[in-house]
Amino acid sequence: MMIDLGLALGIWALAVGCWWVTSRYLQARESARIQSRLTAARAPKKDGGAQPLLRPEDHVTGRIVLSLMRRYNLAPRAEQLLEQAGLRWKAARLAHACLGCFLGGFCFAWRFIPGERLLLSLAVGGAAGFLPVGHVLRLRRRRLQFFEEQFPDALEFIARSMRAGHAFSASLEMIHKEFREPLAGEFKRAFEEHNLGLNLDQSLLKLGQRVPSLDLQFFISAVLLQKRTGGNLAEILEKLAYVIRERFKLRGKIRAISAHGRMTGTALSLIPCVVALLMFWVNPSYVTFFVEDEIGQYLAGGAIGLQLLGYAIIQRIVKIEV
């Protein structure tokens, strides 16, 4: 057991050491390149001119991981996910976090799980490696929820400011001063993009890409349609805010009605876990069959998979889109 633990820790330490040496080498090479270019820029050229001091440079951190992610077209999706979650991470940082959690989960399972440990260790490592992505998805869902809660008030604010004589773009700027994040920051970014020369249609479409909300898509469609056909935009926005609030009320009623189904699904999913813990406490030899024996491991894996599938089906049944 100690030999296996030492082997796993040795492999992990070797991987970390190789990554550290490689990153330090790349940083040193990049620093030397930048220093040589700045030195050449200070020296006058033969024709009396000077070389430019500022040139776009690639980031050294995470270059290998980014190259792999771009090869499989994962970097744009990861960057979009991080942007929607409101995190200032890079795609390489998310990949490094997933890799670190995977190695930690794999070493933990390899140390404490007896018997044939490779498949179970890989499964535990894969589940641990998904934790950073799950954290980002949770932040993304919570940020989107905060945005949707403030959005009807923002629509009414835009309608009132337009009735008072302000332009639509000026109303977008005032949202930043009257509301909180994330709604204030997103609308401020859309206004600044439009103020710096981007077309209003394109800035609103980019806002819709950053915030995947159905209510926001209705708002963008209404604004673009009003620009082409004309009409009273303030009245349209007030009616849209009323419809969104009614949807919120209906969604709350549905959640109250389906609460019993969600509680039933949670209880049915926890009963096997509680029974397994009780059996491990009362009769450990009866439960160790599912850990030490190869057939028992397959049975335990199938049971866990079916349990997760049943929980997902129950949650799908009680989840009603409005």
Rounded distance, CA 29 to CA 24, Å?
A: 9
Contact 203, 172 (CB under 8 A): no
pLDDT in tens, the chain (322 residues): 545 556 666 676 676 677 666 766 666 666 666 555 544 444 444 444 444 333 333 444 566 666 766 776 777 788 888 888 888 887 778 888 888 888 888 888 777 766 556 777 777 788 888 888 888 888 888 888 888 888 888 888 888 888 888 878 788 888 888 888 888 888 888 888 888 888 888 888 888 888 888 888 888 888 888 888 877 888 888 888 888 888 888 888 887 877 777 788 888 888 888 888 888 788 777 777 777 777 777 787 788 888 888 888 887 887 776 6
pTM above 0.85, yes or no: no
Per the listing, tokens 């001091």 go with 53
Tokens standing for 67? Answer: 């190259």
151 Cβ contact list (under 8 Å, min separation 6): 183, 213, 215, 216, 219, 244
Vertex 106 angle, CA 104 and 112, to 5°:
100
